[in-house]
Structure 1
Amino acid sequence: MPPAVAGSAAVKESLEPEFAKPKLDEPKYDEPKLDGQEEDDTVLIHEGSDLFAEDLESKMAVLPDLSLTAEVKIEDLKVGMPTGLPPEEAARQETRLRQIIWRRRKWLIGKGNALPPAALGVVCDIDVGDAKPVAQRVRKIPPQFREKVADLVKGLLSARMIQKSTSTWASPIVVIIKKNGVDIRLCIDYRLINGLTQLMVYPMPLVNNLLEDLDKYLWYCSLDMASGFWVVPMTDRARLISAFITPIGLFEWLRMPFGLCNAPQIYQRLIDNALYGFLKLSPDDSTRDVFENGEPAKPGIHSVLERRSYIDDILVGGTSWDDLCEKVERLLDVCEQWHLSISVEKSEWGMSKVDYLGHGVSGLGLEAKSKNLESLTALEFPRTLKGLQSFLSSLNYYHRFIADFAVYATTLYSLTETDFDE
């Protein structure tokens, strides 16, 4: 799943980053020239170091470790059972909801990271204006990680998420060493590309608004759209600009990766349009970009209302079991129409309590997830201004549970760099 979701806990300030030269904040680049290009030193980051979550999620594209997806079975669906009914009737209603979901099983993705079908009516483009192509230098990969990097690239090529490239653009890679010191994640450093990209103007939902009045429902569905950004195809221009360079070759994305600055807005717009029904797909060319040349949908077409969606996390609530079943059926109709897949492993249907955006949601109201609270209470008080800002951002996510938070936060936000000088 995806991209930057509010509530990511900040990493501990006490852990210092372990970078090889050059440091992450000093990108080097040449004019386009790939053959015979000199290699830069490796950039290594240890997982859990002082690379803030927002830096990793918003400025780098993590290369996924694709795996085969297990075939979905009807019993894999996590479906709740209504209470307050005779056992036979409760079982019948549970089966009813399960069958509604199962009729759209083509759009259910099982456990794993296999690539889902491409969504319709949306593309990812990268507009850098009149900027000239920039080929940043390839970075070395330590010998012990080369085979792992090759396997990651092979998996992406096989899944048709990337392809070999002849682009004159090139972004370098960053190796994230996992806590076991052996496994890695490979990221693409898109800071330079993002700095050149024309920012997309689109309203992102406010988490606080999405969490309001959820206690009015009896039943909930918490859904995770499978593989999120990967369902969005890239334009030809975006493919070239997204090219990334490794010691084993130059590659470009066929599907939208994480790390591009406009990726969250592109996906949010897709979900909003699909669920509200503003623009419709053309019957003769359903794969074009409806946001460029689509036609308005006819008034009166029922939207999937009374649901909350933050990028690839969707919550549906029902005041009754019938109400919930009707909303789920409409939602799945939309998923089928726009080719949006749902993760079976990460989704729950017809539950009296679900997790949504880092909170427990039920008819009793909101509660903070204990795991997240443990991470927050374990944070040491920061010793730098940037660390303080990240620290307060993490606390702010649960501000409703912290007495007098606004009073304390106002004082802390007023601090400047000089207040941290020894």
Structure 2
Amino acid sequence: MPFGLKNAPMIYQRMIDNALWGFVQPKGGWANFSEKMRIAETADADDRAGVTEASVSLNEAPRTKFEADRALSTTESAVATLVNSPLADMYSSGEPDESSLVPVLDRRSFVDDICFGSETFEACLATLDRLLSRFQECRISVSFSKSLFVQRKVGFLSHDVSAAGIAPDAKKATAVTELSFPSSKKGVQSFLGALNYYSRFIQDFAVYGAALYQLKDADFEPGGDLSAARRSFAMLQQRVRDAPILRHFDRGKDVHVTLFANEWALSSTLLQEHEGKLHPVRFCGRVLKDAEMNYHPAEKEVLALLLVLKVCYTQLVGKSIRVYTRFSTLEWVHKSKTLFGRATQFAVLLSPWHLVVERVKEKD
């Protein structure tokens, strides 16, 4: 159910996040904060109308609408002052919300875009009721003309979300696959920028795209060799056509991570078991930096693991993770007490995580 919030600029982001999580409330409770917000909104309305107590005195004539707007543009509005004040930051100055310690969605919002679902129609309506009640408490209004309810599949942030999982938007993916090979470095960068948004659906995206990232302007001049770049371009387009449906992350299921690295790029895959088989939840990858290209392949796989732990932090924090690697180095780095060099840095970064390392052959 995607929502369109009509009064949610960036200053409301903290309020929306607090409303969705629900772990804390403002000091004095939601009713007290709502009253402060109502007073601030009334003060802003009076300022815009040019009729405030400060503007009318025995020795001063009432301000015109133009004068009020001009004065208002040079000062922060009462609502913005309240929202940006420590009082509104409930993570730092709030108190436990005894009435609703359980969050509504158990996650943060993406600015003003909210999407949720459930396995049954009744559960979906129950979540909707809790969400609207929380919006009412926080004085956040919803544009129902921009919202969709009870759909089997919805478009959300250029993705198709359904019960089966998450897939790239079909129209935008088709537009990418129909592009011809660019005639300049700028065109290649534009292609990679458009494709980067769907990199989560492409396994080994960085591996296939490395040849395109390394192109220079001189390569497009007469006599330049673009054969490797053209092969990478065609392979990436084919990968977009064959992009799998990523399964929704399930907090109740075990987490599996596979790692891969070569001379110029690294990639990692987050998987979970469904119907007896491991299905992808997220693909991660990047091109190696110049200094990292000299690393041992085992060290590159550690970098691949650190990448997926960073990208998927909110899903993986606090969970036991089963990691499949071609080398025994990762287990040694994670458990050894006698480390040196880069291994010490890797051990510090991996120390907060509970990893179960399993060595596998490359063909597996």
Question: Shorter-chain TM-score: which interval?
Answer: 0.3 to 0.5
Question: Which one has the largest radius of gyration?
Answer: 2
Q: Relative contact order (alpha carbons < 8 A, sep ≥ 6): 1 or 2 greater? A: 1
TM-score, L = length of structure 1: 0.35
